Amino acid sequence: MDKTLENASGPEAIKETVSAKPRQPLPIKTAGKTLSYSVIFWFISVLLGQWFFFYYIIKFYGFSVINDNMEIWNRWEVMGATPYHAGDFAGNLAFAAHAIGAGIVAFGGVFQLLPKMRSRFPSFHRINGYVYLFTVILLALSGYYLVWFRDTNPIQLGDIGTSINGSLILGFAYLTVHSAIKKDIASHRKWAICLFLVSNAQWFLRVGVFSYLITGTTLGLNPAFGDPFFTMWTFGCFLIPLLTAQLFFYAQSSRNPRVKLAVSITLCVLTLLMLIGIMGYTPFLLSVMSEGPISM
């Protein structure tokens, strides 16, 4: 056999041929689908978590108001909270409105994020939008009242975070309505997503706490209340979702498939952490609704 031919067809030649072959870039269409699937994964996870949260709100707070049994709110006393104040009609009413409003937001808000719901059922989208806007404004105002007027304790960092969150709710509510009036659907959609995220910041706060405790314990980090995480998460519960939304908007408009893929992975990781928190938060809420002792 010719040595020249033998050398040309040997392992080195094959290696050179493979290495010389240009790497195929990730198709933009594939990257776009990956981003869409990651958003669907996030949406389904939020929907399941928030609809159970709605069930808890109605069963625990809603029925307690109907049955005039608001004293049951103080089952939270073991966690350092006493929402019910005997003789404080205005304060108890504000807290009930705040809690039940959070349930309405948890149930109806996800419908506003569905483009097909807006296109196929425009009347429902509009009416549900009005209810949603009224409720989130009520949430912000009642939150201000509970923090700055009803609570007699000194203002803490968590109260400041709640107040900033309430201001963001009012600001995004205005921008959502303003862009809708101007028929700027693209901007309206973005502001509506931001409004949804900050309106559910207290839910993200609780889910994030359980995710931190469960994940930290699994990794052997011995997480505990009082860790720096809790101070940071007071603001992170609305800043991290907003930052993630901005990353999604950027990736959605980007023509770079690597950007889309990177944001998809980031969103999936954050969703998995959120699911861990949901799985920890759910049995805790079940213990709150039961007549037994509250347990973490």
The tens digit of pLDDT for each residue in 225-240 reads: 889 999 999 999 999 9
Please, is 220 exposed, middle or buried when counting C-beta atoms within 10 Å of its C-beta (0-12, 13-18, 19+)? exposed
pLDDT at 20: 47
- State pLDDT tens for residues 21-31: 555 567 888 98
* pLDDT(254) > 80: yes
DSSP string over 218-263: HTT----TTSHHHHHHHHHHHHHHHHHHHHHHHHHH---HHHHHHH
Judge whether residue 35 has pLDDT over 50.
Answer: yes
Q: Which residues contact 69 (CB under 8 A, 6 or more apart)?
A: 63
> Which residues 6+ apart lie within 8 Å of 67 measured at CB?
none
- Least confident range from 63-67, 150-154, 278-282: namely 150-154
Mean pLDDT of the chain: 88
pLDDT for the residue 226: 85
pTM over 0.75: yes
Lowest mean pLDDT among 1-15, 102-116, 179-193: 1-15
* The pLDDT of residue 5: 42
Helix or strand (DSSP H, E) at 137: helix 122-145
What pLDDT, on the 0 to 100 scale, is given for residue 290? 85
CA dihedral 261, 251, 271, 180 (to 10 degrees): -160
Task: Collect all residues with Cβ–Cβ distance below 8 Å to 273 and sequence separation of at least 6.
Answer: 211, 215
pLDDT at position 134 over 70: yes
Residue 1 pLDDT class (50, 70, 90 cuts) = very low
**In the chain, % of residues over pLDDT 70:** 91
